[in-house]
Structure 1
């Protein structure tokens, strides 16, 4: 199979809008690679199954109305293969310059075969599959970051609107839990991105272990409280806290640890029971790589469930080992063990059939002076300024607009780099916020043009990717998606430190 890019072009001249069920376009040309994989010019979708043909025609309809359609996955039954070929399509509208209107002249469709040529050796095949998986994963991660940016941004707006105190306590707590879950989802995506790019740096901060456990209990409440009660089962949660010192860690990863332990405890109590969390402080273990002058923070997670046989207990942290049959992956407790180890901690399990299970976790405490200084640090004041926001995702664009407007700024949102450059020609701005991944001209390219034409103008890059190196020579600051109102506030204070703050006006 030839790995050449598949390319086809459709003409879109029409006198009136066509029905959404049929394409208004006529194919003009397709290259040899397209004909070989997808079908001849007279039947350009001929080798796709009916449902994929309908999706492809629908994508042409969307492009005919001016929308860019990317990442459309279809299957083509090539005559030289028994198995269908997965094809990744991008459907790109081609229009006149903005000054001449928005009429769509043509549509270009490109396709990439996500399968290896038959002539490749096994090492090439494996490398190609991993590269393709990596590209697709990074694309999905970017899209999820955009969705989470909208979700978290609107939750921030609800909080900033000072209406939470009008809501019932349980609704307030649920909104906080949704925000926490979205934040952890974003952290998980960033962890995946860092892994793909071989960047395993963790962002460590002082943490209150008891507050973190409470977050996890609230997050998992539907599993240990609501769902069991619907089945007539009752699981009680008990807390025995002593308010130990802070520990250092990555909050999202440690929440993953305790969520895993809670869900395993619920699974071990099919008839109900008690889940108990106990915190305590003990002396450092000299055999561990920790500061012997610091205390060690301990946590016991105990359930009154069915317990484990000795042979199961011995293998509980092994990857892929599970007692849940097809309902389990065998990755939860393995990941838990790895995360605890990465935090210079230890975890052990004590269990017996019919006597429940207790997990004991130990973590070195954080340096108190550094922790107190971090907790007492004041956030910088945010200057008031005129901001140009550039993002092709309407939901993200609206969210940034509302968050910045709420902070007292004047915001002008646009949907493309070209629109941004047009606005810069006739208006004065203090700052540009631009998305990284945009069609036609991405954020790195826009930042370079802005840097050349308006060198005095600060540019902040918003990115759902981890690799922002192409933009770094031309941007003043980078904010990762999803972001919070405080992230935007801190970015403005960083790049515009001399602007007057709201407190001075």
Structure 2
């Protein structure tokens, strides 16, 4: 059996190909054929790279442009992969159907040092990790939307049942934990997309501390008692002037320190949480009567990956906490000794003023406001159901359907609605594609987009408004009424 021939050296000639909206190759020049072969559009690309290339072609077929994408062509015989730089552009024909444009692909072979291939492999892996993280963030936002939605429905039921104050408090903690989870997901999305962080606001530390005590109650009360031990909690939460910061991040720091304190008291003990002021600074102290730290451990406590918990710890909790505190222009002080417990002291400068909000939240509609006829579109049954139930709570008449094609068919069959509420990410037809189709058929019908993406905005034409997941019912209700008014 003869060995497979190596790919020929390709001179710096432009590689060109034309594909239809499905990714089928319609035409290509000889340079393209020499590099990619004759087996379809991506014959010599590794499967993962071929998937990325196909996704870029589909994006271009929907009207977007994708440029400066690098791919590695497999070469037989153990030779280094051949790097190719490609650009994807839609071909907007006068009679072409929107979202189904042919795609022009062009590029060139790149010649780089031998170390280039390894670096590109690392870059591709990081890109894959980013894509996976964004997918997980999308799914997690859907789950949190359902959690917060059902919490809102439960709140309505508890009010009708005149539930005790304690039950209302547990529900509030559930909602707070889910909201903080959503904020953490947004931080991941913002980091991957290199977007700006959340806007800071004036924060009352004694309020944050009270919320954290409620959030962590299962860890310092329920779980220790299940194991037959007792952790006593002592608090002195004095009101202190506000600091400038992000509530979600500050709660994250305090929750981490409270959990560390509980873990440091395996036989039980006392957890203390206090707030105070000193000169122009706000102070929060979290203390325990646990095992304490040696001086050498105390000095290394904030080092990345350093942990005394063995495989049970990541060594990043205190590192991240210190980073958040420093981002708030504060500092962490630690006092500890073996057998005498540990005290963490967080020191923050007072806020010099509250920044103006970037945008005002829509006001809730009056209780007597008339309901609207709404069509809710989502391919996730759990999210679709809870969204519909919440809107019905506000007096709206809701019809729910599974996906964009079903929405178009329902309206074609004669359903009359005042507005459409649709998810953005759906497999057969995205929310924006549905909005574009509705714009052509029903020019005056407003469309509201629900999305967990941080960078999604209304385009002023097809989409009237965007509400981010997980949403608050007041915001969703007020926005729907505004666009349908």
Same fold (TM over 0.5): yes
Query: 2:364, 2:474 within 8 Å by CA — same for their partners in 1?
Result: no
Corresponding position of 2:384:
397
Aligned match of 1:178: 174
Report the alpha carbon displacement of residue 437 of structure 1 after superposing the two structures with TM: 0.4
Equivalent of residue 133 in structure 2, options 129, 137, 142: 137
User: Retained in 2: the 8 A contact 1:433–1:461?
Assistant: yes
The match for 1:208 among 192, 204, 211 is: 204
**Structure 2 residue 313 is matched with structure 1 residue 332:** no
Would you say the 8 A contact 2:293–2:342 is kept in 1? yes
Question: After alignment, is 323-332 or 467-476 more displaced?
Answer: 467-476
Once the 2 structures are TM-superposed, how far is the Cα of residue 494 of structure 1 from its aligned partner?
4.2
1:265 aligns with 2:231: no
Shift of 1:403: 0.6
Larger deviation: 199-208 or 311-320? Answer: 199-208
Distance 1:315 1:165, change over 3 A: farther
1:10-409 matched pairs, under 5 angstroms? 121-163=117-159, 166-284=162-280, 296-366=281-351, 379-381=363-365, 384-409=371-396
**TM-score, with length taken from structure 2:** 0.71
Which runs of 5 or more residues in structure 2 are unaligned? Answer: 1-21, 23-38, 48-76, 79-114
Change in Cα spacing, 1:452 to 1:204, as seen in structure 2 (3 Å) is farther
Partner residue of 1:480 out of 446, 468, 473: 468
8 A contact 1:321–1:330 mirrored in 2? yes
Match of 1:421 among 408, 413, 434: 408
Contact 1:464–1:481 under 8 Å retained in 2: yes
Q: CA, structure 1 residues 366+160, in 2 after alignment: closer, same or farther (shift >3 Å)?
A: farther
Shift of 1:175: 2.5
Deviation at 1:347, TM superposition (A): 1.7
Confirm or deny: 8 A CA contact 1:443 1:471 kept in the other structure: no
What TM-score results when the alignment is normalised by the length of structure 1? Answer: 0.68
- Pick closer, same or farther for the CA change 1:37–1:122 going to 2, 3 Å: closer
Choose which of 419, 424, 436 in structure 2 pairs with 1:431.
419
Given candidates 399, 411, 428, the residue that maps to 1:440 is: 428
1:454 CA drift (Å): 2.8
Q: Distance in 2 between matches of 1:179 and 1:164?
A: 19
Matched, 1:411 2:398: yes
Inter-partner Cα distance in structure 1 for 2:399 and 2:385: 10
Q: Which runs of 5+ in 1 are unaligned?
A: 1-6, 8-29, 39-79, 82-118, 285-295, 500-505
Structure 1 residues 270 and 448: CA distance shift in structure 2, 3 A: same
SS of residue in 1 equivalent to 2:305? coil
Aligned length: 380
CA RMSD of aligned residues (A): 3.4
CA-to-partner distance for each residue in 1:207-262, whole Å, 9 max, x for gaps?
Answer: 33223222222222222122222333221111112212333322221111011100
- Whether the 8 Å contact between 2:290 and 2:341 is mirrored in structure 1 is yes
Q: Is the 8 A contact 1:436 1:443 kept in 2?
A: yes
- Provide the rounded CA distance (Å) in 2 between the counterparts of 1:253 and 1:424: 44
**Cα distance change on mapping 1:328 and 1:217 into 2, 3 Å:** same
